[in-house]
Amino acid sequence: MSAATLAYYVNTGELERIARGIYRGSKARTIENFQWEDLITAVKQTKNGIACLVSALALYDLTDEIPRQHWIAIPNSTRHRAPRSVRVVRMRNMSLGKTHITIDNIPIPIFDRERTIVDAFKYLSKEVAIKALKKSLTKSKNEKIDPNKLCGYAQTLRVNISAYLMAIIV
């Protein structure tokens, strides 16, 4: 669709501009879980973006921290200019642990719980990572992490978490 056509529909009120390159029909229903609407927009705006670190920890309810920015992972070789509300993290091995969650029927790419915890040890403070690890081990059966998968990810990403894992489990 051309820029002129988009501008026409925005001026007539049939489309609403949410962000640069993202439009929504004016009669489209809004997201019920509005606290994640900005994150959904940020991920959709970022080419090959995946929700990660503090944003993923918040979505999985593994942190008490309220994210001030949306943390989005992009491939290491990708160039991207991000607005202030987005914290871009360049990562390697983007397919490891990549999954999708659905928020109001909108699929969002995100790293699974195990990869998120390993990345927390690598990119965030030890305090945040240890709290997330403890919280993930006390979750219910279908939300609990797999320690074997966690160790496999840690080995692949070259992050030594064995001492922390042993201290928490024992």
Structural domain contains residue 30: no
pLDDT digit string (tens) for 142-169?
888 888 999 999 999 999 998 888 888 7
Tokens of 164: 């922390």
Number of domains forming the structure of the chain: 1
What's the pLDDT at 116?
A: 96
Instruction: Order across the sheet with 50-51: list the strands.
Output: 86-91, 70-75, 50-51, 106-111, 98-103
Query: Which residue range is the domain that position 133 belongs to?
Result: 36-169
Question: Is pTM, for the whole model, over 0.85?
Answer: no
Q: What is the pLDDT of residues 98-138, one digit of tens each?
A: 999 998 888 999 999 999 999 999 999 999 999 999 999 88
Asked if residue 6 is part of any domain, the answer here is: no
- CB contact at 8 A, 123 and 117: no
Half-sphere exposure of 121 (CA within 13 A, CB side): 22
Residue 13 falls inside a structural domain = no
Domain-located, residue 123 = yes
